[in-house]
Amino acid sequence: MKTIKGIACLSLGLMLAVPAFSQEKEEDRVKEAGEVVKEILDAPDKGIPKDLIDKAECVVVYPSVKKAAFVVGGSYGRGVMTCRRGPHLTGPWSAPTMMALEGGSFGLQIGGEATDFVLLIMNEKGAKSVLSSKVKLGGDASAAAGPVGRTITAETDVVMKAQILSWSRTRGLFAGVSLAGSTIRADDGANKNIYGKEISGQDIVFKHQVPAPPSATVLLRELNKVSPHHKA
């Protein structure tokens, strides 16, 4: 009888520990994304042009993606996405939804080093398509490598036409990078881990059904400091 009770207690302990571990893992990912954004926005000369951030509807951050993550089929990089609040996506930034980054040629580009990726989604159509289904960059959504430099104008033909702009950072080197051929999507399983219930990315960023977790403090603070309002 004692053995049965012991097994039952152990099983219960494991059942409670797994969700807690999963939540902590996702919280750490959100914190890492916030640090990536802070470091990039604090870069004095090289970074994302501010007028692009002002015009963006959403920001997606994938911290510390490694080539090894793409060796086994079905593996992927994971990160977060936050969008402007309000009916026309013009206000401050929303609670983050967890996101997945899959496949594509960039796995060969980044080598064995950990690489941070930052994407700007430039219009509402692009934002909604990313959260409603898996989106292939360069196919389902037009994508381009983002320009680098605080003083560089964003009024270029490539930038104006792209729905999604992307950058990478490896060993402190920041540059625009093409992610054409890769796919991005909402990670609803990770959303359940961090918010404690079944909830879609659309409900998080568009319907604002959950408050931002404490782990998102740095991410949202830095974005609201640099670009508190959308500028069409």
In a domain, 122, yes or no: yes
CB 121 within 8 A of CB 56: yes
Question: β-strand 143-145 against 164-170: which pairing, if any?
Answer: parallel
Distances from the Cα of 58 to the Cα of 112, 122, 143, 205, angstroms = 29, 7, 14, 9
In a domain, 196, yes or no: yes
pLDDT at residue 194, as a whole number: 96
pLDDT in tens, 3-17: 655 454 444 444 444
pLDDT at residue 5, as a whole number: 54
Is the predicted pLDDT of residue 58 greater than 70, yes or no?
A: yes
Amino acid in position 38: K
In a domain, 203, yes or no: yes
In a domain, 111, yes or no: yes
> How large is the average pLDDT for residues 121-125?
90
Distances from the Cα of 111 to the Cα of 65, 108, 144, 168, 206, angstroms = 10, 6, 21, 13, 36
In a domain, 232, yes or no: no
State the average pLDDT for the chain: 82
In angstroms, the CA 142 to CA 174 distance is 22
> How large is the average pLDDT for residues 92-105?
87
Query: In this predicted structure, which of 41-45, 49-53, 69-73, 130-134 has the lowest mean pLDDT?
Result: 69-73
Tokens found for residue 76? 């992927």
**Which residue range is the domain that position 38 belongs to?**
2-226
Is the predicted pLDDT of residue 71 greater than 90, yes or no?
A: no
> How large is the average pLDDT for residues 157-168?
82
Q: Give the confidence band of 75 by pLDDT, cuts at 50, 70, 90.
A: very low
In a domain, 127, yes or no: yes
pLDDT at residue 33, as a whole number: 96
What values do phi and psi take at 71, rounded to 5? -70, -45
> How large is the average pLDDT for residues 51-58?
92
Only one residue has tokens 């053995």, namely 3
pLDDT at residue 18, as a whole number: 46
Query: In this predicted structure, which of 40-44, 70-74, 166-170 has the lowest mean pLDDT?
Result: 70-74
In a domain, 231, yes or no: no
**Based on the structure, what is the number of domains in the chain?**
1
Is the predicted pLDDT of residue 103 greater than 50, yes or no?
A: yes
Q: Which residue has the higher pLDDT, 131 or 64?
A: 131
pLDDT at residue 148, as a whole number: 84
133 sits in the region (left: phi over 0; alpha: psi -120 to 50; else beta) called beta
Q: Give the confidence band of 63 by pLDDT, cuts at 50, 70, 90.
A: very high
State the CB neighbour count (10 A cutoff) for residue 171.
Answer: 7
CB 30 within 8 A of CB 80: yes
Query: In this predicted structure, which of 94-98, 156-160, 210-214 has the lowest mean pLDDT?
Result: 156-160
pLDDT in tens, 179-208: 888 899 999 999 999 999 999 999 999 999
3-state secondary structure 59-101: EEEEEEECHHHHCCCCCEEEEEEEEECCCCCCCCECCCEEEEE
pLDDT at residue 231, as a whole number: 84
In a domain, 206, yes or no: yes
